[in-house]
Homo-oligomer: A and B are copies of this chain.
Amino acid sequence: MRTSELGKARIVDDERGRGMLRIGEVSKRSGIGIEALRFYEKSGLLDKPSRTYSGYRVYGPEILDRLAFIKRAQALGFSLDEIRRIVDDARRGESPCDEVREIVSRRLEELDERMRELRRYRKELAETLEEWNKVGRAPGHICGLIESSHVEHGEKKGKLGGQRSGKKKRG
């Protein structure tokens, strides 16, 4: 694999060296769309990859681990922003683990709080539904089902019903 350093971007002559991949292949193997890969790069989640002379991105096989890392972290509830901070630390040679640990701890607390809310919320819903089955509809209202519920509705800081925004992954 002959390479030549040129300022910042490594330019790779032979991309069939050892498992070198172009973006489409990376996309197929990782299950992450090409556009998303470029988006990750732009937002600093991925290092700028080497390029062929003609400008094509060329990735080493380790990109797949990195992407798996990202997906895993996402699945664990990290935002891309948090993941970026972690990756930045790693790039600077600092162990990001302290930061990760902090984030995870915070996430755990949030999670517990969220689950408490969800449980309350579920109880409300179920009770309301049941109650409605007994009572029937109250006239003069939009719907007794909702009006008769006793859910707290002043704060809304936790917004329970979110993320139903219907975003299907490709595939």
Contact call B128/A104, Cβ cutoff below 8 A: yes
The reply on A161 being an interface residue by CB < 8 A is yes
Please give, as numbers and ranges, the residues of chain B lying within 8 Å of A75 by CB-CB distance.
121, 151-153, 156, 160
Residues on B with C-beta less than 8 A from A122 are 108, 111-112, 115
Nearest CB of B to A121, in Å: 7
Question: Main secondary structure on chain A at its contact with chain B?
Answer: helix
Contact of A108 among B95, B112, B129 (CB under 8 A): B129
Shortest distance in angstroms between A120's beta carbon and chain B's nearest beta carbon?
Answer: 10
Q: Are A154 and B31 in contact (CB under 8 A)?
A: yes
- CB <8 Å contact, B142 and A86: yes
Q: Mark A58-79, 1 if CB is under 8 A from B, else 0.
A: 0000000010110111111111
Q: Are B108 and A147 interface neighbours, CB within 8 A?
A: no
Q: Does A34 contact B (CB under 8 A)?
A: no
Known: A104-B125, A105-B129, A115-B115. 12 other contacts (CB 8 A): A74-B156, A75-B156, A77-B160, A86-B143, A86-B146, A95-B137, A101-B145, A111-B118, A111-B125, A114-B118, A118-B118, A157-B169
